[in-house]
Amino acid sequence: MISYEPLWDTMRKQGITTYALIKNHGIPASTIHSLKHNGNINMLTLEKLCNALNCTPDHVVKFKKEDN
């Protein structure tokens, strides 16, 4: 399972809002919606987020093993 918990923590620590990602970094509002619902994003979006937040992918996404 994909989780974007690290993204929200990184944003909180850096004082960056979803509004700033949309307006200042070109992240579409639909992508923010997808992130909030742990949806899929592509690698270009991951790169944009990492550049905007000056971080690495592990600060944006983590993978959780699903219980079967």
In order of start, what are the domains of the chain with their CATH numbers? 2-63 (1.10.260)
Tell me, what's the pLDDT at 65? 84
Crossing angle between the packed helical segments 18-25 and 29-36, to the nearest 10 degrees: 150
What is the spatial distance between Cα 36 and Cα 11, in angstroms, rounded to a whole number?
13
Residues of the chain with pLDDT under 50: none
Q: How far is CA 23 from CA 20, 30, 67, in A?
A: 5, 13, 38
Token look-up 């850096």 returns 14
pLDDT of residue 66: 79
